[in-house]
C-alpha cells in the first residue's frame, strides 16, 4: 500500500533499495537502537493514564453533540 501510494510497485521499490545500498555501501537508512526502550509495564501505565483522562470528559446528550457540530459547521462558513 505504501509503495502504491507513492506510485510504484514493490519490485521497483526493491530495485531502488538495492541501488541506494550500493551507492552508500551499506543499508541506506539509519539502523540504531533507541536510547531507551519502553517496557510493557510502562506502556500499560501510560495507557491507563490516558484512559483515565478520557473518562473525565463530561457526558453529552446526542442533541448537545449535534448542536456543537452544527455550531462548528456554521462558523466554518463565515
DSSP string, the chain: -HHHHTT--HHHHHHHHHHHHHHHTS-SS-----SS---HHHHHHHHHHHHHHHHTSPP--HHHHHHHHHHHHHHHH-
pLDDT in tens, 20-70: 999 999 999 988 877 888 899 999 999 998 888 877 667 888 899 999 999
Instruction: Give the total number of structural domains in the chain.
Output: 1
Distance CA(17)–CA(47), nearest Å, equals 36
Q: What domain range includes position 60?
A: 2-30+45-77
pLDDT at 78 over 70: no
Q: Per the domain annotation, does 65 fall within a domain? A: yes
**pLDDT at position 46:** 92
Q: Per the domain annotation, does 67 fall within a domain? A: yes
Q: Per the domain annotation, does 14 fall within a domain? A: yes
C-alpha cell at 1: 500500500
Q: Per the domain annotation, does 39 fall within a domain? A: no
pLDDT at 15 over 70: yes
pLDDT at 74 over 70: yes
Amino acid at each position: 500500500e505504501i509503495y502504491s501510494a507513492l506510485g510504484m510497485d514493490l519490485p521497483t521499490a526493491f530495485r531502488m533499495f538495492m541501488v541506494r545500498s550500493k551507492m552508500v555501501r551499506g543499508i541506506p537508512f539509519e539502523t540504531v537502537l533507541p536510547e531507551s526502550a519502553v517496557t510493557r509495564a510502562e506502556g500499560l501505565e501510560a495507557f491507563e493514564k490516558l484512559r483515565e483522562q478520557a473518562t473525565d470528559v463530561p457526558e453529552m446528550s446526542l442533541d448537545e453533540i449535534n448542536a456543537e457540530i452544527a455550531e462548528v459547521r456554521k462558523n466554518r462558513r463565515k
